[in-house]
Structure 1
């Protein structure tokens, strides 16, 4: 720990800044800086024009959240909402404007609306810091959508519209990576490692730029997922000054810094280090009832321009986590877990580089990323005399070498995209006395897509993927048509084919059937999906309704079967303005598998809400704000089964018991006190996860110690106090 902190603090020195928003305006296609573009603050007379290098700087702004308007002749205007201006730091907002056909009326595009953009949930640092009980984790933010179900309070695994979390994938700077979460066994069935989630994400909010989670009819640029895609991007460091963030909470200690390596230099860095609070207490010998949990991670992104049109990023992140449990004496044991020592350790690392180069009417982006993890789970059981009796040792590892290259070109009034994703996978796993296997796979995915306005009010996007894996191949066409009805309404109809390479974690569509398998033919799972969407949007407020359907012609569960999901969603949102924001939504759906097998994640309905209000409580020269943020979710229960031994039967004679957990209800509250000082911003926050203390069911299991069916409950009321300072 001391070496990681030392490495981070070596690049920290104290410099103070003003309340400023700055950045560069680019041509989206050629990556060329745009001189003379106008950047203004909505509702005020404040505005500037970009200089010869496309750079702008808005100064002397009061702390708070603003909406920026960016315009340039021949380009579609853009609106950036929820831009957070703080004392002592410069808020960086780079903007990429899209060229507009000369015979079309000017179009205003609004970003950061996030949840109600069809099939996309935006992930921003500002929202992660504002919404209740996100714990600065990007994956937990997306649970404010009614299309996303919480699988367990203790982890950030999510189910989209009844689909298993095992079919979600992660990308960083466009390339696919392994599961980037600490404590992947948190909140899972009998503490087994999960494929795509964990207790907390290694990518802290302080390291992110515009990122998103796609879950509906996403276009041909996104492949290898029949669930959802986390598309994460790292932010570039500030170009004009060094800035720092320090945070202490019951989650852990968090130190971040960004800026140029030298004053006036063009090469910048952004770095973040975290160490968990429970891990720190464990180092001092604090006991948590026989259990110890901890994690730490370090992330770094170095960015440098290469000429005026190109930028190179070199980045990496690494994390360590552990979850250890010591058995209890026989006289104090209540369930079978109390009779066991369980030691779980995980190591995860990601390293890569990304180059974006602009040309006349086109740009090329290439990312190369190597990622991997290793986890071990050692379990030792004790007999009635508290003597170690049996052991079960499990080891898993995965490596992904991912290369993603994308070429974009403007041709007339259309945008053409040609790209390829090439992945090499390596798996290894062993379970003492049961299996010891390895698996190597590859996936090559070239794709092409074109987007153009057929008429002034009709936009078409069409593309195709070709998927070639070790054992299988598939062609996936996709198309969407967007009809502008008037200035505030539009309709989108979209559909296509989606494929994903199966692996030892997701071979079974229903993960409760069979677990890990290593000797199967891992081909592609195929699906078809379609959506019909209506969006109304006006001045930071929008309403979206969507009908959706997903069909899987062949999934593995007790043999080959068909599966489908269908339903509808209604959401509404007001972005943060005048001290107020809200999100409300609900979805109803059915997620079924052919025959009598019940989909485990078919919750049937999900209602979510998030809202907040900020009050200005400044006095004299003291600029202070108080915020109240709430978030709630009500969803149906999950379907599981458990094999119960027959009392008078022979060995391995079981009766299958199917059950459904009770509906899930949770309300989170965040109280936030912020003070904007002359050269820094300080805040104190209190998050109350499950503020109402509802006892939600996690799952049921047959307990070998009590010899009966037991219920594992999720977390109760969890208070998290946080102190944060930025300068």
Structure 2
């Protein structure tokens, strides 16, 4: 495929091409098409324009290639400015735009902050604080992101990663397990390869940035639409395929070989499809006999993402969508280097994990009246992981079973959302979500050379989680806006019902700046696995645990310093209560679960723990202008908890600070359509607190033994990493070619990840994170 793409590209027309920009314009609340809206395209001066038809559609042909600014105006509505739209020869630009009706009459003179000038405005109109739009193109634009939405989100203010091997999202000191993932409005399982139902991250994302549309990311006090999460929300939207023209994608990178296609089903049909498939690069190289230098421990994975959109009569639409993937790796003891600690394996054991994850859904949306819009979705998801660990009796390598487990969730979801626009000042939104999860879990450890079993979980069953919400947006005037909502949820195992008020306020100081404030009460259930963990007597003592409770308070200030430069600062305080801890004095708290790969097997828990997170964050973002762009974020925070022993400690995610500087520059070479670009990323994160090793006990037992009485009392050195990305993009008449190399950790800085005990050397050893690593990518669209 690589050879074909290069040959095809070099024989394509070399002259500069043009492209089409088209899409729809609708009312933000009612979803009704806006007839006669004016769209203009500029790059310093206006170079094209159009007006929308009776269905809200527009089409502007023969737009020169390069980055362009889009402006949409409509009488009685706030103006929309959409900067930094990349126009390439290989793909049409399709924009789905929404306008907000102006509060004031045309003859009134007002000064108001136009939030639609902000390219980071969220899809969710009820969002007031701690939210931003996620642009999937940023995963391709910035160094270090590797096309992964989670790794890109780690650059946002309030978000910390610091784990090069996984893409866990740590929001404001919360566990990554406190994240909620949604796709098309449906709660979905962990969308990562080598992930499972009791965590939310993994080494490689199943999500494909080529299929994702503009989405929302929340870090606190999120709208009433979202529940069962105490940390953050990633609300993903899959984009629709081109319904007028067939387009194709070929991509080769370290993450995989990828093929994509989109287009209409026929020339006369407005129905469209988009489909992308990816296969592990290292696995393919191994299959054709190439030595990739990883021995048997080669990560194998493949995934797909798709969406089909079919318009119906009466301003309706049916969509079918989904994503899924398989992954596996063999960690064999014979391949382990005994001279150092190896995070992924041990010399005296073999571990064979297998994973699969998928979700598929069907949605029907329709305008019920000129002011009312509804969407109903049915979806099913599947998550399965299993492992088998065998001990090797050295030096004979005789095999004894050490541990075994499997974890399966089949979830069936129904979601209804209704939006009604009362007038330009008032709109309401309500809906419900019901998730039925059928699970089958088994997990055991085996001792004494495979003769004694210790079963942690052995349970099948059903869990129902029902959520409902209602929220009201009121605009007192062009300056002052309130969002008020109420969320409720019920879980069948503990039979608990909770009500959660949510409030957001926003006041525009002038055209450029605003202050905002938000409050939210949130609750989250334990992972189903932890609910059914059994103690030494075989009793399931966690089944009646209440939800963990969290109060969020946020105060922020935003200022559009120029049309392309935005400053934002937020302060926050989060109070957690009813946290599961041991029923005897100990340092354990469920707030720290998620710091390791394996699940927590703690039983006999009670809701008596507490925690708090507070801090200040800032963002300075320059959108693309004159070939230059950057994103600077910083966070200062503290994250503490109390276990059942009543001692206040640092959480496993308390790094105290995090800072990111990302910047890029594009250079036009010769004729238009040829671009050379470079960008750089600097990240520094305070060292995480960890539990010290009890060296004497480790020596005696020949395994790592930790001093839990001093949990999270010692601090690692600070994390630092610099990534550099350079690339070349060439536009031909009807295709585009791009080649880039992402040089990760260019200084080869040694960042400590974990501390362990090496029984072969009888020393405390450290596992270091990724060193210098170049990641090339070739991409061709036509």
Determine if the TM-score, normalized by the shorter chain, exceeds 0.5: yes
- 1:59 corresponds to which of 58, 61, 67: 61
Contact 2:113 2:511 in 1 (8 A): no
Matched residue, 2:581: 557
Name the CA shift for 1:333/1:489 in 2 (closer, same or farther; >3 Å). closer
Matched residue, 2:405: 394
Q: Distance in 1 between matches of 2:53 and 2:468?
A: 39
Q: Distance in 2 between matches of 1:333 and 1:690?
A: 24
Q: Distance in 1 between matches of 2:162 and 2:382?
A: 25
Matched residue, 1:687: 742
Q: Secondary structure at the match of 1:544?
A: strand
- Are 2:773 and 1:718 aligned? yes
Name the CA shift for 1:654/1:72 in 2 (closer, same or farther; >3 Å). closer
Contact 1:290 1:328 in 2 (8 A): no
- Are 2:482 and 1:460 aligned? yes
**Mapping of residues 362-377 of structure 1, within 5 Å:** 362-377=372-387
Give CA-to-partner distance per residue, 1:102-145, whole Å, 9 cap, x none.
43758641253369984224322321221112121111111111
Name the CA shift for 1:628/1:505 in 2 (closer, same or farther; >3 Å). farther
Name the CA shift for 1:558/1:661 in 2 (closer, same or farther; >3 Å). farther
- Are 2:681 and 1:631 aligned? yes
Q: Distance in 2 between matches of 1:294 and 1:142?
A: 25
Q: Name whichever of 707-716 and 139-148 sits farther off.
A: 707-716
Name the CA shift for 1:82/1:522 in 2 (closer, same or farther; >3 Å). farther
Contact 1:17 1:90 in 2 (8 A): no
- 1:415 corresponds to which of 419, 427, 436: 427
- 1:444 corresponds to which of 439, 462, 466: 466
Give CA-to-partner distance per residue, 1:560-582, whole Å, 9 cap, x none.
22100011011110111211111
- Are 2:50 and 1:48 aligned? yes
Contact 2:747 2:772 in 1 (8 A): yes
Q: Secondary structure at the match of 1:291?
A: coil
Matched residue, 1:278: 282
Q: Secondary structure at the match of 1:573?
A: strand
Contact 1:171 1:230 in 2 (8 A): yes
Q: Distance in 2 between matches of 1:137 and 1:530?
A: 30
Give CA-to-partner distance per residue, 1:402-448, whole Å, 9 cap, x none.
22211111113201111112112233322233232235322211111
**Mapping of residues 340-379 of structure 1, within 5 Å:** 340-358=349-367, 359-379=369-389
- 1:169 corresponds to which of 173, 180, 183: 180
Q: Name whichever of 563-572 and 391-400 sits farther off.
A: 391-400
CA-CA distance at 1:711 after TM superposition: 1.4
Matched residue, 2:557: 534
Matched residue, 1:33: 33
Structure 2 stretches lacking a partner, 5+ long:
1-15, 445-452, 533-538, 584-607
CA-CA distance at 1:344 after TM superposition: 1.3
- Are 2:117 and 1:110 aligned? yes
**Mapping of residues 166-245 of structure 1, within 5 Å:** 166-184=177-195, 195-245=199-249
The alignment covers a number of residue pairs equal to: 696
CA-CA distance at 1:62 after TM superposition: 2.0
- Are 2:161 and 1:157 aligned? no
CA-CA distance at 1:85 after TM superposition: 0.6
Matched residue, 1:524: 547
Matched residue, 2:262: 258
Q: Distance in 1 between matches of 2:434 and 2:611?
A: 29
- 1:311 corresponds to which of 314, 317, 341: 317
CA-CA distance at 1:473 after TM superposition: 1.4
Matched residue, 1:5: none
Q: Distance in 2 between matches of 1:78 and 1:298?
A: 34
Contact 2:66 2:673 in 1 (8 A): no
Q: Distance in 2 between matches of 1:642 and 1:280?
A: 41
Q: Secondary structure at the match of 1:195?
A: coil
Q: Secondary structure at the match of 2:299?
A: strand
Q: Distance in 2 between matches of 1:685 and 1:30?
A: 42
Q: Secondary structure at the match of 1:220?
A: coil
Contact 1:27 1:99 in 2 (8 A): yes
Q: Secondary structure at the match of 2:347?
A: helix
Q: Name whichever of 154-163 and 118-127 sits farther off.
A: 118-127
Q: Secondary structure at the match of 1:282?
A: helix
Matched residue, 2:442: 430
**Mapping of residues 623-702 of structure 1, within 5 Å:** 623-641=673-691, 644=694, 646=697, 655-656=707-708, 658=711, 659-702=714-757
Name the CA shift for 1:168/1:107 in 2 (closer, same or farther; >3 Å). same
- 1:548 corresponds to which of 567, 572, 582: 572
Contact 2:50 2:60 in 1 (8 A): yes
Q: Secondary structure at the match of 1:141?
A: helix
Q: Distance in 2 between matches of 1:416 and 1:159?
A: 32
Contact 2:611 2:639 in 1 (8 A): yes
Q: Distance in 2 between matches of 1:711 and 1:323?
A: 23
Q: Secondary structure at the match of 2:739?
A: strand
Name the CA shift for 1:293/1:650 in 2 (closer, same or farther; >3 Å). closer
Give CA-to-partner distance per residue, 1:212-271, whole Å, 9 cap, x none.
221122111111110111111111111110011100112210111111011131110010
Q: Distance in 2 between matches of 1:354 and 1:203?
A: 19
- 1:474 corresponds to which of 494, 498, 521: 498
Matched residue, 1:128: 139
CA-CA distance at 1:675 after TM superposition: 0.5
Give CA-to-partner distance per residue, 1:670-718, whole Å, 9 cap, x none.
1010011111110110001212211111111234544443211111111
Q: Secondary structure at the match of 2:527?
A: coil
Q: Distance in 2 between matches of 1:263 and 1:410?
A: 36
CA-CA distance at 1:395 after TM superposition: 1.2
- 2:520 corresponds to which of 474, 480, 496: 496
Q: Distance in 1 between matches of 2:563 and 2:88?
A: 24
Q: Name whichever of 166-175 and 38-47 sits farther off.
A: 38-47
Name the CA shift for 1:647/1:665 in 2 (closer, same or farther; >3 Å). closer
Matched residue, 1:141: 152
Q: Name whichever of 58-67 and 607-616 sits farther off.
A: 58-67
CA-CA distance at 1:520 after TM superposition: 3.6
CA-CA distance at 1:648 after TM superposition: 9.1
Contact 2:113 2:514 in 1 (8 A): no
Matched residue, 1:4: none
Contact 2:719 2:751 in 1 (8 A): yes
- Give the alignment's TM-score, normalised by structure 1: 0.91
Name the CA shift for 1:312/1:403 in 2 (closer, same or farther; >3 Å). same
Give CA-to-partner distance per residue, 1:80-113, whole Å, 9 cap, x none.
2221110132110011222223437586412533
Structure 1 stretches lacking a partner, 5+ long:
1-15, 186-192, 509-515
Give CA-to-partner distance per residue, 1:356-395, whole Å, 9 cap, x none.
2112111011222211111111111212222223431121
Name the CA shift for 1:72/1:309 in 2 (closer, same or farther; >3 Å). same
